[in-house]
């Protein structure tokens, strides 16, 4: 038996085992629905499946300069659900995701929730929720006030991310009914999104 080849095989196996990193599931319901967006700062993110968060409603509140409008959050609402994408991400990138979501700045806090897959099964996943959620809640039939509306850019990223993630058609139709503030994100944000806006230039 050739000991060189045996040693090489064992070394290759050890490298393969060592390369397997710990992962975590992240539930995205806002701009990180879009593959291009999530991978800008989290390049190991792999789409796992679509999922739904029962008893929470999609809403908008925090104004972010780069997006030139309000960004998404979820608020407790037993009459609503929020659909999103489950991403599988290397555990050593969690701090980077926290930074992207503004946790160190106090914009969002991270927690774990139970989400459901369309064909059954439940998973515990990390989620980010704004530290100051909208108050008071909208009354039935009331539209988002202007200071809580997302920009055209942000809303486009969400809706096309929802399509890309194969969220239910009715939910996608709902996303298209959300009013925007008519503004465009910053030049830097558009450049960051790059390829997405080369595909959909009409959304600038």
Active site positions, annotated: 101
According to DSSP, the residues that pair with 172 across neighbouring strands are none
Query: What is the Cα Rg of the chain in Å?
Result: 20
Backbone φ and ψ of 133, nearest 5° = -80, 160
Selection from 158, 125, 152 nearest residue 59 by Cα = 158
According to DSSP, the residues that pair with 202 across neighbouring strands are none
- Which tokens is 104 given? 């160190």
Q: Check the CA dihedral 104-152-29-139 and report its sign.
A: positive
């Amino acid at each position: 038996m050739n000991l060189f080849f045996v040693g090489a095989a064992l070394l290759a196996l050890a490298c393969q085992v060592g390369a397997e990193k710990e992962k975590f599931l992240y539930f995205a319901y806002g701009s990180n629905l879009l593959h291009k967006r999530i991978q800008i700062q989290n390049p190991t993110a792999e789409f796992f499946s679509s999922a739904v968060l029962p008893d929470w409603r999609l809403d908008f509140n925090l104004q972010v300069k780069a997006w030139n409008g309000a960004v998404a959050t979820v608020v407790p609402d037993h009459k609503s659900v929020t659909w999103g994408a489950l991403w599988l991400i290397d555990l050593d990138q969690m701090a980077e995701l926290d930074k992207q979501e503004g946790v160190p700045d106090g914009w969002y806090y991270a927690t774990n929730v139970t989400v459901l897959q369309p064909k059954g099964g439940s998973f515990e996943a990390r989620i980010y929720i704004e530290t100051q959620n909208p108050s008071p809640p909208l009354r039935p039939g009331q539209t988002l006030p202007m200071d809580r509306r997302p920009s055209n850019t942000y809303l486009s990223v969400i809706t096309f991310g929802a399509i890309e993630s194969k969220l239910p058609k009715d939910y996608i139709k709902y996303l298209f009914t959300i009013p925007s503030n008519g503004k465009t994100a910053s030049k830097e944000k558009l450049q960051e999104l790059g390829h997405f806006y080369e595909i959909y230039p009409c959304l600038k």
